[in-house]
Amino acid sequence: MNTANQSIKPVTTKINDKGNIEIGGCDLTELANKYDTPLYVFDEETIRSICKSYKDAFKSYPKMRMMFASKAFMTKAICKIMQQEGFGLDLCSGGEIYTAKSAGFDMSKTLFNGNNKSYDELILAVESSIGTISVDNFFELSLLNNIAQSYNKKVRILLRITPGIECHTHEYIQTGHLDSKFGFDLTQLDEAIELIKDEYTNLDFVGLHAHIGSQIFEKKVYFDEVDVIFNEIKRIKDKYNIILSEINLGGGLGIKYTEKDLPVSVYDIAETIIKSIEEHAEKYKIESPYVFIEPGRSIVGTSGVTLYTAGSSKQVPNGRKYQAVDGGMSDNVRPSMYQAEYTVEIANKPQQKSDTLVTIAGKHCESGDILAKDIMLPEIDEGDIICFYDTGAYGYSMSSNYNRVLKPAAVLVNNGKSDIIINRQTYEQLCENDTIPDRLN
Protein backbone atom coordinates (compact mmCIF):
# COMPACT_ATOMS: atom_id res chain seq x y z
CA MET A 1 0.00 0.00 0.00
CA ASN A 2 1.43 3.38 -0.98
CA THR A 3 1.83 6.13 1.60
CA ALA A 4 2.29 9.89 1.28
CA ASN A 5 6.09 9.74 1.63
CA GLN A 6 6.18 8.00 -1.77
CA SER A 7 4.55 10.97 -3.50
CA ILE A 8 6.36 14.11 -4.60
CA LYS A 9 3.34 16.33 -4.09
CA PRO A 10 0.93 16.86 -1.17
CA VAL A 11 -2.13 14.61 -1.42
CA THR A 12 -4.47 17.53 -2.19
CA THR A 13 -2.42 18.95 -5.07
CA LYS A 14 -4.30 19.70 -8.26
CA ILE A 15 -4.57 22.20 -11.09
CA ASN A 16 -7.61 24.41 -10.60
CA ASP A 17 -9.98 26.07 -13.05
CA LYS A 18 -7.62 29.06 -13.35
CA GLY A 19 -4.83 26.77 -14.52
CA ASN A 20 -2.85 27.30 -11.30
CA ILE A 21 -1.51 24.80 -8.78
CA GLU A 22 -3.78 24.36 -5.80
CA ILE A 23 -2.97 22.67 -2.50
CA GLY A 24 -5.41 22.21 0.38
CA GLY A 25 -8.04 23.94 -1.72
CA CYS A 26 -5.89 27.09 -1.91
CA ASP A 27 -4.47 28.60 -5.10
CA LEU A 28 -0.71 28.95 -4.61
CA THR A 29 -0.49 32.18 -6.58
CA GLU A 30 -3.21 33.70 -4.41
CA LEU A 31 -1.36 32.58 -1.28
CA ALA A 32 1.80 34.22 -2.60
CA ASN A 33 -0.08 37.45 -3.23
CA LYS A 34 -1.78 37.38 0.17
CA TYR A 35 1.17 36.43 2.36
CA ASP A 36 4.15 37.49 0.20
CA THR A 37 7.11 35.26 -0.65
CA PRO A 38 9.20 33.35 0.20
CA LEU A 39 6.38 31.40 1.82
CA TYR A 40 6.22 27.96 3.38
CA VAL A 41 2.89 26.23 2.72
CA PHE A 42 1.87 23.09 4.67
CA ASP A 43 -1.01 20.82 3.70
CA GLU A 44 -2.79 19.64 6.84
CA GLU A 45 -4.46 16.72 5.10
CA THR A 46 -1.10 15.29 4.01
CA ILE A 47 0.30 15.54 7.54
CA ARG A 48 -2.70 13.81 9.06
CA SER A 49 -2.76 11.22 6.27
CA ILE A 50 0.77 10.03 6.94
CA CYS A 51 0.16 10.04 10.71
CA LYS A 52 -2.83 7.78 10.17
CA SER A 53 -0.77 5.54 7.87
CA TYR A 54 1.82 5.04 10.63
CA LYS A 55 -0.84 4.16 13.17
CA ASP A 56 -2.58 1.78 10.79
CA ALA A 57 0.63 0.13 9.61
CA PHE A 58 1.76 -0.69 13.16
CA LYS A 59 -1.65 -1.47 14.68
CA SER A 60 -0.93 -5.21 14.94
CA TYR A 61 1.79 -4.47 17.52
CA PRO A 62 -0.07 -3.02 20.54
CA LYS A 63 3.09 -1.79 22.27
CA MET A 64 4.08 0.53 19.44
CA ARG A 65 4.40 4.24 20.27
CA MET A 66 4.76 7.03 17.69
CA MET A 67 6.98 10.05 18.37
CA PHE A 68 7.25 12.95 15.92
CA ALA A 69 10.88 14.00 15.41
CA SER A 70 10.25 17.68 15.97
CA LYS A 71 13.61 18.79 14.57
CA ALA A 72 12.05 18.35 11.12
CA PHE A 73 9.57 21.21 11.72
CA MET A 74 8.59 22.49 15.14
CA THR A 75 5.81 25.00 15.79
CA LYS A 76 2.97 25.22 18.27
CA ALA A 77 0.45 24.33 15.54
CA ILE A 78 2.38 21.19 14.63
CA CYS A 79 2.45 20.21 18.31
CA LYS A 80 -1.35 20.50 18.38
CA ILE A 81 -1.72 18.31 15.29
CA MET A 82 0.64 15.67 16.69
CA GLN A 83 -1.21 15.57 19.99
CA GLN A 84 -4.54 15.23 18.19
CA GLU A 85 -3.12 12.37 16.12
CA GLY A 86 -1.86 10.54 19.21
CA PHE A 87 1.85 11.12 18.59
CA GLY A 88 4.44 11.97 21.21
CA LEU A 89 7.37 14.32 20.54
CA ASP A 90 11.08 13.65 20.17
CA LEU A 91 12.73 16.90 21.31
CA CYS A 92 16.35 17.95 20.75
CA SER A 93 16.81 21.32 22.46
CA GLY A 94 15.58 23.63 25.14
CA GLY A 95 13.78 25.61 22.44
CA GLU A 96 11.86 22.56 21.32
CA ILE A 97 10.97 21.71 24.92
CA TYR A 98 9.75 25.28 25.48
CA THR A 99 7.69 25.20 22.28
CA ALA A 100 5.99 21.95 23.28
CA LYS A 101 5.20 23.29 26.76
CA SER A 102 3.89 26.56 25.31
CA ALA A 103 1.57 24.59 23.04
CA GLY A 104 0.13 22.74 26.04
CA PHE A 105 1.57 19.39 24.92
CA ASP A 106 1.44 16.45 27.34
CA MET A 107 5.11 16.41 28.39
CA SER A 108 4.87 12.86 29.73
CA LYS A 109 4.74 11.80 26.06
CA THR A 110 8.02 13.44 25.12
CA LEU A 111 11.61 12.27 24.78
CA PHE A 112 14.64 14.56 25.10
CA ASN A 113 17.42 13.57 22.75
CA GLY A 114 20.80 15.06 21.74
CA ASN A 115 24.55 14.57 21.97
CA ASN A 116 25.46 17.69 24.01
CA LYS A 117 22.54 18.69 26.20
CA SER A 118 23.47 21.69 28.30
CA TYR A 119 23.01 22.03 32.05
CA ASP A 120 20.22 24.58 31.51
CA GLU A 121 18.47 22.32 28.98
CA LEU A 122 18.57 19.34 31.35
CA ILE A 123 17.24 21.56 34.16
CA LEU A 124 14.37 22.61 31.87
CA ALA A 125 13.73 18.97 30.92
CA VAL A 126 13.54 17.84 34.55
CA GLU A 127 11.41 20.82 35.59
CA SER A 128 9.10 20.16 32.63
CA SER A 129 8.63 16.50 33.63
CA ILE A 130 9.86 15.20 30.27
CA GLY A 131 8.72 11.61 29.86
CA THR A 132 12.13 10.12 29.07
CA ILE A 133 15.65 11.37 28.42
CA SER A 134 17.87 9.55 25.94
CA VAL A 135 21.36 9.77 27.43
CA ASP A 136 24.13 10.06 24.89
CA ASN A 137 27.42 9.93 26.82
CA PHE A 138 29.18 9.59 30.19
CA PHE A 139 29.31 13.34 30.83
CA GLU A 140 25.55 13.56 30.48
CA LEU A 141 24.98 10.57 32.76
CA SER A 142 26.79 12.31 35.59
CA LEU A 143 25.24 15.71 34.93
CA LEU A 144 21.69 14.39 34.71
CA ASN A 145 22.01 12.32 37.85
CA ASN A 146 23.23 15.34 39.82
CA ILE A 147 20.32 17.44 38.53
CA ALA A 148 17.76 14.70 39.26
CA GLN A 149 19.21 14.34 42.75
CA SER A 150 18.94 18.07 43.40
CA TYR A 151 15.24 17.91 42.45
CA ASN A 152 14.72 14.70 44.45
CA LYS A 153 13.46 12.99 41.29
CA LYS A 154 14.12 9.72 39.56
CA VAL A 155 14.43 10.36 35.83
CA ARG A 156 13.54 7.73 33.25
CA ILE A 157 16.37 7.24 30.76
CA LEU A 158 17.29 5.31 27.67
CA LEU A 159 20.91 4.79 26.73
CA ARG A 160 21.56 5.76 23.14
CA ILE A 161 23.88 3.36 21.33
CA THR A 162 25.62 3.39 17.97
CA PRO A 163 24.57 0.05 16.48
CA GLY A 164 27.25 -0.04 13.77
CA ILE A 165 24.77 -0.03 10.90
CA GLU A 166 25.60 2.14 7.91
CA CYS A 167 22.68 2.89 5.62
CA HIS A 168 23.04 4.19 2.09
CA THR A 169 22.37 7.87 2.63
CA HIS A 170 24.38 11.10 2.69
CA GLU A 171 27.30 10.78 5.10
CA TYR A 172 26.15 13.86 7.04
CA ILE A 173 22.85 12.21 7.94
CA GLN A 174 24.19 8.77 8.86
CA THR A 175 23.95 8.38 12.62
CA GLY A 176 24.11 4.66 13.31
CA HIS A 177 27.58 3.78 12.03
CA LEU A 178 30.49 3.35 14.42
CA ASP A 179 32.34 6.58 13.60
CA SER A 180 29.57 8.88 14.81
CA LYS A 181 29.24 11.74 17.28
CA PHE A 182 26.05 10.15 18.64
CA GLY A 183 25.65 7.64 21.45
CA PHE A 184 27.61 5.05 23.37
CA ASP A 185 29.71 2.57 21.44
CA LEU A 186 28.59 -0.95 22.34
CA THR A 187 31.96 -1.54 24.03
CA GLN A 188 31.14 1.35 26.43
CA LEU A 189 27.71 0.13 27.40
CA ASP A 190 28.73 -2.02 30.36
CA GLU A 191 30.64 0.84 31.99
CA ALA A 192 27.58 3.07 31.67
CA ILE A 193 25.29 0.41 33.15
CA GLU A 194 27.61 -0.19 36.10
CA LEU A 195 27.67 3.54 36.85
CA ILE A 196 23.86 3.63 36.82
CA LYS A 197 23.65 0.59 39.10
CA ASP A 198 26.28 1.68 41.60
CA GLU A 199 26.40 5.50 41.59
CA TYR A 200 23.71 7.19 39.53
CA THR A 201 20.75 6.04 41.59
CA ASN A 202 18.48 8.89 40.47
CA LEU A 203 18.40 7.47 36.95
CA ASP A 204 15.83 4.82 36.03
CA PHE A 205 17.34 2.83 33.14
CA VAL A 206 14.40 1.47 31.10
CA GLY A 207 15.71 0.81 27.60
CA LEU A 208 17.95 1.40 24.61
CA HIS A 209 17.77 3.96 21.83
CA ALA A 210 19.37 3.68 18.41
CA HIS A 211 18.99 5.73 15.24
CA ILE A 212 20.46 4.57 11.95
CA GLY A 213 20.17 7.69 9.82
CA SER A 214 17.86 9.79 7.71
CA GLN A 215 16.33 9.63 4.22
CA ILE A 216 16.49 5.81 4.34
CA PHE A 217 15.11 3.80 1.42
CA GLU A 218 15.99 0.31 2.70
CA LYS A 219 13.93 -2.09 4.79
CA LYS A 220 16.63 -4.50 5.91
CA VAL A 221 18.50 -1.92 7.98
CA TYR A 222 15.53 -1.77 10.37
CA PHE A 223 15.61 -5.56 10.76
CA ASP A 224 19.35 -5.38 11.48
CA GLU A 225 18.84 -2.57 13.99
CA VAL A 226 16.32 -4.64 15.96
CA ASP A 227 18.76 -7.56 15.88
CA VAL A 228 21.55 -5.48 17.45
CA ILE A 229 19.27 -4.02 20.13
CA PHE A 230 17.71 -7.34 21.14
CA ASN A 231 21.13 -8.95 21.36
CA GLU A 232 22.11 -6.24 23.85
CA ILE A 233 18.85 -6.58 25.78
CA LYS A 234 19.48 -10.30 26.21
CA ARG A 235 23.10 -9.77 27.20
CA ILE A 236 22.15 -7.09 29.75
CA LYS A 237 19.47 -9.32 31.22
CA ASP A 238 21.87 -12.24 31.58
CA LYS A 239 24.77 -10.20 32.97
CA TYR A 240 22.97 -7.67 35.19
CA ASN A 241 19.50 -9.15 35.67
CA ILE A 242 18.12 -5.88 34.28
CA ILE A 243 14.97 -6.33 32.21
CA LEU A 244 14.61 -3.49 29.73
CA SER A 245 11.03 -2.72 28.76
CA GLU A 246 11.50 -0.08 26.02
CA ILE A 247 13.41 0.33 22.79
CA ASN A 248 13.54 3.35 20.52
CA LEU A 249 14.37 2.63 16.88
CA GLY A 250 14.62 6.27 15.78
CA GLY A 251 13.07 7.30 12.49
CA GLY A 252 14.69 8.02 9.17
CA LEU A 253 12.20 6.83 6.55
CA GLY A 254 12.87 8.66 3.30
CA ILE A 255 10.57 10.67 1.07
CA LYS A 256 10.34 11.21 -2.68
CA TYR A 257 12.00 14.50 -3.64
CA THR A 258 12.42 13.64 -7.34
CA GLU A 259 11.43 10.81 -9.66
CA LYS A 260 14.81 9.19 -8.99
CA ASP A 261 13.89 8.60 -5.34
CA LEU A 262 12.23 5.29 -4.53
CA PRO A 263 11.35 5.27 -0.82
CA VAL A 264 9.57 2.31 0.70
CA SER A 265 6.16 2.82 2.27
CA VAL A 266 5.32 3.04 5.95
CA TYR A 267 3.63 -0.34 5.62
CA ASP A 268 6.86 -1.86 4.28
CA ILE A 269 8.96 -0.77 7.24
CA ALA A 270 6.18 -1.64 9.70
CA GLU A 271 6.08 -5.20 8.38
CA THR A 272 9.87 -5.46 8.68
CA ILE A 273 10.08 -3.98 12.17
CA ILE A 274 7.19 -6.01 13.61
CA LYS A 275 8.51 -9.23 12.10
CA SER A 276 11.97 -8.58 13.47
CA ILE A 277 10.68 -7.75 16.96
CA GLU A 278 8.49 -10.85 17.12
CA GLU A 279 11.25 -13.13 15.83
CA HIS A 280 13.86 -11.77 18.23
CA ALA A 281 11.52 -11.78 21.24
CA GLU A 282 10.88 -15.47 20.55
CA LYS A 283 14.54 -16.22 19.84
CA TYR A 284 15.77 -14.68 23.09
CA LYS A 285 12.71 -15.56 25.20
CA ILE A 286 12.19 -11.88 26.03
CA GLU A 287 8.85 -10.22 26.66
CA SER A 288 8.07 -7.95 23.73
CA PRO A 289 9.10 -4.40 24.70
CA TYR A 290 7.37 -1.11 24.11
CA VAL A 291 8.72 0.13 20.80
CA PHE A 292 9.07 3.80 19.94
CA ILE A 293 9.75 5.17 16.49
CA GLU A 294 10.49 8.78 15.61
CA PRO A 295 9.42 9.72 12.06
CA GLY A 296 10.04 13.36 11.20
CA ARG A 297 10.79 14.01 7.55
CA SER A 298 8.26 11.39 6.42
CA ILE A 299 5.54 13.12 8.49
CA VAL A 300 5.94 16.71 7.30
CA GLY A 301 8.32 16.62 4.32
CA THR A 302 5.82 15.88 1.57
CA SER A 303 3.21 18.17 3.11
CA GLY A 304 5.29 21.30 2.61
CA VAL A 305 6.14 23.44 -0.41
CA THR A 306 8.06 26.71 -0.63
CA LEU A 307 6.90 29.52 -2.91
CA TYR A 308 9.26 32.09 -4.40
CA THR A 309 8.78 35.02 -6.76
CA ALA A 310 10.97 35.10 -9.84
CA GLY A 311 13.20 38.17 -10.12
CA SER A 312 16.28 38.84 -12.23
CA SER A 313 17.75 36.40 -14.71
CA LYS A 314 21.11 35.99 -16.40
CA GLN A 315 22.16 34.09 -19.50
CA VAL A 316 25.86 33.28 -19.36
CA PRO A 317 27.26 33.42 -22.93
CA ASN A 318 27.63 29.80 -24.05
CA GLY A 319 26.70 28.76 -20.50
CA ARG A 320 23.93 28.44 -17.97
CA LYS A 321 20.78 30.45 -17.66
CA TYR A 322 20.30 31.63 -14.08
CA GLN A 323 16.91 32.58 -12.68
CA ALA A 324 17.05 34.37 -9.33
CA VAL A 325 14.30 34.15 -6.70
CA ASP A 326 13.59 36.15 -3.56
CA GLY A 327 14.85 33.47 -1.19
CA GLY A 328 17.65 30.95 -1.14
CA MET A 329 19.99 29.28 1.31
CA SER A 330 18.55 31.24 4.25
CA ASP A 331 15.19 29.47 3.88
CA ASN A 332 16.49 26.17 2.43
CA VAL A 333 20.11 25.33 3.13
CA ARG A 334 19.79 21.68 2.09
CA PRO A 335 20.91 22.10 -1.55
CA SER A 336 24.09 23.86 -0.38
CA MET A 337 24.66 21.52 2.57
CA TYR A 338 23.63 18.12 1.18
CA GLN A 339 23.45 18.77 -2.56
CA ALA A 340 19.75 18.04 -2.16
CA GLU A 341 17.57 17.97 -5.27
CA TYR A 342 13.94 19.02 -5.61
CA THR A 343 11.02 18.86 -7.99
CA VAL A 344 10.09 22.37 -9.14
CA GLU A 345 7.09 23.83 -10.99
CA ILE A 346 5.83 27.27 -11.85
CA ALA A 347 2.64 27.63 -9.83
CA ASN A 348 0.96 29.87 -12.41
CA LYS A 349 2.19 27.86 -15.45
CA PRO A 350 1.98 24.17 -14.46
CA GLN A 351 0.62 23.05 -17.83
CA GLN A 352 3.07 24.90 -20.04
CA LYS A 353 5.78 22.90 -21.77
CA SER A 354 9.03 22.59 -19.83
CA ASP A 355 11.46 23.46 -22.61
CA THR A 356 13.97 25.79 -20.91
CA LEU A 357 17.08 24.58 -19.08
CA VAL A 358 17.52 26.84 -16.09
CA THR A 359 19.32 27.01 -12.75
CA ILE A 360 17.36 28.54 -9.86
CA ALA A 361 19.64 30.81 -7.85
CA GLY A 362 19.07 32.36 -4.45
CA LYS A 363 19.60 36.02 -3.64
CA HIS A 364 22.44 35.60 -1.15
CA CYS A 365 26.07 36.67 -1.53
CA GLU A 366 27.35 33.13 -2.10
CA SER A 367 28.12 31.45 -5.40
CA GLY A 368 26.90 28.24 -3.81
CA ASP A 369 23.46 29.69 -3.13
CA ILE A 370 21.81 27.51 -5.77
CA LEU A 371 18.40 25.95 -5.06
CA ALA A 372 18.11 23.81 -8.20
CA LYS A 373 20.75 23.22 -10.86
CA ASP A 374 20.02 22.55 -14.54
CA ILE A 375 16.32 21.73 -14.44
CA MET A 376 13.73 21.97 -17.20
CA LEU A 377 10.93 24.51 -16.72
CA PRO A 378 8.68 26.64 -18.92
CA GLU A 379 10.06 30.04 -19.83
CA ILE A 380 10.07 32.09 -16.61
CA ASP A 381 8.88 35.67 -16.48
CA GLU A 382 9.59 38.13 -13.72
CA GLY A 383 6.84 37.80 -11.10
CA ASP A 384 6.10 34.13 -11.75
CA ILE A 385 5.56 32.04 -8.61
CA ILE A 386 8.03 29.17 -8.42
CA CYS A 387 7.04 26.17 -6.28
CA PHE A 388 9.56 23.81 -4.68
CA TYR A 389 7.95 20.59 -3.49
CA ASP A 390 8.89 18.53 -0.40
CA THR A 391 10.34 21.36 1.66
CA GLY A 392 8.24 20.64 4.75
CA ALA A 393 11.16 19.10 6.63
CA TYR A 394 14.36 20.96 7.45
CA GLY A 395 13.41 24.10 5.54
CA TYR A 396 12.19 26.45 8.23
CA SER A 397 13.92 24.50 11.02
CA MET A 398 17.34 25.10 9.42
CA SER A 399 16.62 28.64 8.25
CA SER A 400 18.81 31.62 9.09
CA ASN A 401 19.09 35.39 8.80
CA TYR A 402 22.12 35.25 6.51
CA ASN A 403 22.61 38.65 4.84
CA ARG A 404 20.07 39.86 7.43
CA VAL A 405 17.30 38.42 5.31
CA LEU A 406 14.01 38.00 7.16
CA LYS A 407 12.70 34.53 7.92
CA PRO A 408 9.58 33.67 5.86
CA ALA A 409 6.05 33.10 7.05
CA ALA A 410 4.43 29.66 7.11
CA VAL A 411 0.78 28.88 6.47
CA LEU A 412 -1.32 25.77 7.06
CA VAL A 413 -3.91 25.04 4.38
CA ASN A 414 -6.96 22.82 4.58
CA ASN A 415 -10.32 22.73 2.78
CA GLY A 416 -9.78 26.07 1.07
CA LYS A 417 -8.68 27.91 4.21
CA SER A 418 -5.21 29.21 5.00
CA ASP A 419 -3.93 30.12 8.45
CA ILE A 420 -0.65 31.65 9.50
CA ILE A 421 1.31 29.30 11.78
CA ILE A 422 4.54 31.34 11.69
CA ASN A 423 4.45 35.09 11.19
CA ARG A 424 6.91 36.63 8.76
CA GLN A 425 9.80 38.17 10.66
CA THR A 426 9.98 41.94 10.69
CA TYR A 427 13.02 44.23 10.54
CA GLU A 428 12.24 45.32 14.08
CA GLN A 429 12.34 41.71 15.28
CA LEU A 430 15.55 41.14 13.33
CA CYS A 431 17.30 43.89 15.28
CA GLU A 432 15.61 43.53 18.67
CA ASN A 433 18.51 41.62 20.25
CA ASP A 434 21.20 43.95 18.90
CA THR A 435 22.86 46.31 21.37
CA ILE A 436 25.36 49.15 20.97
CA PRO A 437 27.93 49.51 23.78
CA ASP A 438 28.00 52.99 25.35
CA ARG A 439 31.60 53.50 24.26
CA LEU A 440 30.51 53.41 20.60
CA ASN A 441 28.07 56.27 21.01
Cα–Cα distance, 432 to 426 (Å, whole number): 10
CA dist 160 and 113 (Å) reads 9
- Pairing mode, if any, of strands 39-43 and 304-315? antiparallel
Whether the Cβ atoms of residue 364 and residue 328 lie closer than 8 Å to each other: yes
- The 8-class DSSP code of residue 258 comes to S
CA-based end-to-end distance of the chain:
66
DSSP assignment of 267-326, as one string?
A: HHHHHHHHHHHHHHHHHHT-PPPEEEE---HHHHTTTEEEEEEEEEEEE-TTSPEEEEES
H helices within 3-137, ranges in order? 28-35, 44-57, 76-84, 94-102, 119-127
DSSP assignment letter at 349 = -
SS3 for 88? strand
The set of long-range contacts for 322-326, using a CB threshold of 8 Å and a minimum separation of 24, is 322/358, 322/359, 322/361, 323/358, 323/359, 323/360, 323/361, 323/380, 323/386, 324/360, 324/361, 324/362, 324/363, 325/38, 325/360, 325/361, 325/362, 325/363, 325/371, 325/386, 326/37, 326/38, 326/363
Rounded-to-integer distance, Cα 14 and Cα 263, Å = 23
In a 3-state reduction of DSSP, which class is residue 256? coil
Residue 316 has a CB neighbour count (10 Å cut-off) of 9
249 contact partners, CB below 8 Å, separation of at least 6: 210, 211, 222, 225, 226, 229, 273, 291, 292, 293, 294
Q: What are the phi and psi torsion angles at 295 (to 5°)? A: -65, 140
Contact partners, residue 373, CB within 8 Å, separation at least 6 = 359
Q: Is 387 a catalytic residue?
A: no
- The answer to whether 144 touches 122, Cβ cutoff 8 Å, is yes
Q: Tell me which of 26, 51, 79, 365 is the catalytic residue.
A: 365
Catalytic annotation, residues: 365
